[in-house]
Every structure is written in C-alpha cells, then in structure tokens.
Amino acid sequence: MIWMALFFAPWWAKVVRCRVGVLLVLFLPLFWNTKFIHKTVPMKNYLLLFLFTALGSSTFAQVFVENTNINDRKVQYLEIWEKYNKDTDRFWAMIDYGQLDNREDKSGQALMMTSSSGQALEFNGIVNILNFMYSNGWEVLHVKTIGDYESFILHRRFPMDENRLKETANSNDATGG
C-alpha cells in the first residue's frame, strides 16, 4: 500500500520519469527493511513497477525528419508548422531545423516529421504537435505569423549533453548542425 501511495504521488511521478528515478526505484529498497517490502508488496508487483518505470524513461527524445533524429544533432532552434492531410482529416508536422532545402521536393516530404521507420506521423492539430515536441524536450519561443501562415520557433528546454555533442559532431554535415 505504501508503494502505491508513493508511486501515484505527483512528486514521485516526476522523479520516476527521469533516469535518477529509475535508480531510486532500484536501490531505495536496499536501504529499507527488505522484510517489510516483501511482506507488503509481492515480488511480481515490484518487477512490474520497475519495468514500467524503465520503459517510461527510455522513450524520450525521438523526433525524426527524413530519417534523422534531430535531438541527436547540434540544433538549438527549429521552425515547425502543420500541413493538412485531406485524406485522413489530420495534420502532418513540418520541421525546418536548418537542413539543406531539396528544391525538387514540391510536396515537402523532406520536411515531414516521421517515425524512426520513416513513416509520416499524423496529429490532431497544432496543439497536439506542440505537446509532442514539448514532451521531447522542445519549447515554443516565438510564434511567427505572416498573413494566414503561422509557424512556431522552438528551442531546446534542456542544454544538450557535451558528450553527446562530441559523439554526434562527426556525423553532422556542415550545413545540418
């Protein structure tokens, strides 16, 4: 019962979402009376709690444009707008992060946000797109409006890890990062 109360408390939910939270869930029982934990929480429930925590923390930072995870690039700002899909009544997210413009791509396929497998992601609207980007570490900095056209300038909420920058620096071309 105590574990359930701790797990669903708002402060605990925030801790569990980060990697430190995973370590706390793993190592906190070592410092408590383990007989108490085993009597109150069966091992099966403890393992399920760990699996959900580990899975939840590993789904961060997956924003792909033309098979490139832009969260792995040295990009601090990007421009995003929606494009309506008449066939499905949903929207595609179009992203310009400074990549080279393909002038032969009239439909804008090279700018579409995709899954890791390259399939275009569809959203309910611009708010759904912005919520997705926020959950992946991006935040709205400015809204740009020209006539009926509206786009959003986003920036990273968290600075990119220096080690990650060094690892990806060699894979970035001169114009993309």
Question: In this predicted model, what pLDDT tens digit does every residue of 59-117 receive, in sequence order?
Answer: 455 899 998 999 999 999 999 999 999 999 999 999 999 999 888 988 889 999 999 99
Tokens of 5: 């109360």
Residue 71 in any domain: the answer is yes
Among 39, 57, 75, which residue terminates a domain?
57
Domain co-membership, 76 together with 50: no
Residue 124 in any domain: the answer is yes
Among 22, 42, 57, which residue terminates a domain?
57
Provide mean pLDDT across the span 131-138. 96
Highest mean pLDDT among 10-19, 103-112, 122-131: 122-131
Residue 106 in any domain: the answer is yes
> Among 123, 126, 159, 153, which residue's Cα sits nearest to residue 140?
153
How many CA atoms lie within 13 Å of 166's alpha carbon, on the beta-carbon side?
Answer: 2
Tokens of 3: 């574990």
pLDDT at 14: 46
Domain co-membership, 80 together with 117: yes
Domain co-membership, 76 together with 148: yes
pLDDT at 26: 56
pLDDT at 13: 46
Residue 174 in any domain: the answer is no
Domain co-membership, 70 together with 29: no
**DSSP assignment, residue 2?**
H
pLDDT at 35: 57
Mean residue pLDDT across the chain? 76
pLDDT at 15: 45
pLDDT tens figures, 43-58 = 556 555 555 555 544 4
Domain co-membership, 102 together with 128: yes
- In the chain, the amino acid numbered 173 is D
Residue 88 in any domain: the answer is yes
In the chain, the number of structural domains is 2
Cβ partners under 8 Å of residue 15, min gap 6: 21, 24
Residue 136 in any domain: the answer is yes
Domain co-membership, 19 together with 92: no
Among 41, 57, 73, which residue terminates a domain?
57
Using pLDDT thresholds of 50, 70 and 90, give the confidence band for residue 129: very high
Q: Can you say whether residue 7 is alpha, beta or left, with left for phi > 0 and alpha for psi between -120 and 50 degrees? A: alpha
Domain co-membership, 72 together with 23: no
Look up tokens 């574990």; give the residue.
Answer: 3
**Residue 30: which domain range?**
2-57
Domain co-membership, 98 together with 154: yes
CA dihedral over 106, 107, 113, 117, signed as positive or negative: negative
Provide mean pLDDT across the span 141-150. 94
pLDDT at 107: 86
pLDDT at 19 over 80: no
Domain co-membership, 79 together with 163: yes
Domain co-membership, 73 together with 114: yes
pTM, full prediction: 0.60
Question: 122-153 in b/e burial notation, b at 16+ Cβ within 10 A?
Answer: bbeebeebbebbeebbbeeeeeeeeeeeebbe
DSSP-derived 3-state class of residue 107: coil
For residue 153, CA distances in Å to 80, 89, 94, 133, 161 come to 7, 25, 12, 11, 22
pLDDT at 133 over 90: yes
Domain co-membership, 94 together with 29: no
Residue 100 in any domain: the answer is yes
